[in-house]
Amino acid sequence: MSEEFVDLSGLEALVQSQEEGIEITIVNEQGNPIGLKIGVVGPDSDRMQKAMREVAAEFAKKAAERESLGEPLADEADARLIAILAKATTHWAPNPKIAGQVVPFSEENVRNLYTKFKIIRDQVEAKAARRASFTKG
């Protein structure tokens, strides 16, 4: 009787690709590249998983500190998403210029960029949330 098996090397490659991350070319509303590239890790990467745990803890602490523990704040879902994406973002190039000021890469600056420009956040979210974005070839 022959031994049967399932080769999981493709899944191993996917996991490795998510850890390494991808670079997203940011486009404008017409689909034209604006010259900014943003690096992000995949949904199953250690960095993304850690980001989700950290943001959950951060928002739980904020909720506990509020006087009212009732309904979450209206913008909380967006703020959580932005916080997670910022932690999962590895770099950008070149540094963007906003209102005449060059903005260097930092987690705080990424949060600010994703808050100010939903068009950029949406592109990063769409790629970062899909495992297929991290398949090679």
pLDDT digits (tens, 9 = 90+) for 15-65: 999 999 999 999 999 999 999 999 999 999 999 999 999 999 998 888 777
Residue at 43 is within a domain: yes
Report if residue 2 sits inside a domain.
Answer: no
Determine the pLDDT at residue 64.
79
Work out how many domains the chain is built from and give that number: 1
Average of per-residue pLDDT across 95-114: 96
Whether the pLDDT of residue 71 is over 70: the answer is no
On whether the CB atoms of residues 115 and 75 are closer than 8 A, the answer is no
44 domain residue, yes or no: yes
- The reply to whether 1 falls in a domain is no
Q: Which pLDDT value is given to residue 29? A: 97
Supply the pLDDT for residue 110.
Answer: 98
For residue 34, tell me if it sits in a domain. yes
For the beta carbon of residue 26, count every other beta carbon within 10 angstroms.
17
Identify whether the C-beta of residue 85 lies closer than 8 Å to the C-beta of residue 129. no
- 44 with 16: CB under 8 angstroms? no
pLDDT bracket for residue 76 (50, 70, 90): confident
Would residue 53 count as lying in a domain? yes
Domain span at 83: 9-134
Give the model's pLDDT for residue 16. 94
Burial 74-94 (b: 16+ CB within 10 A, else e): eeeeebbebbbbbbbbbebee
Indicate whether 45 belongs to any domain. Answer: yes
Q: Does 110 fall in a domain?
A: yes
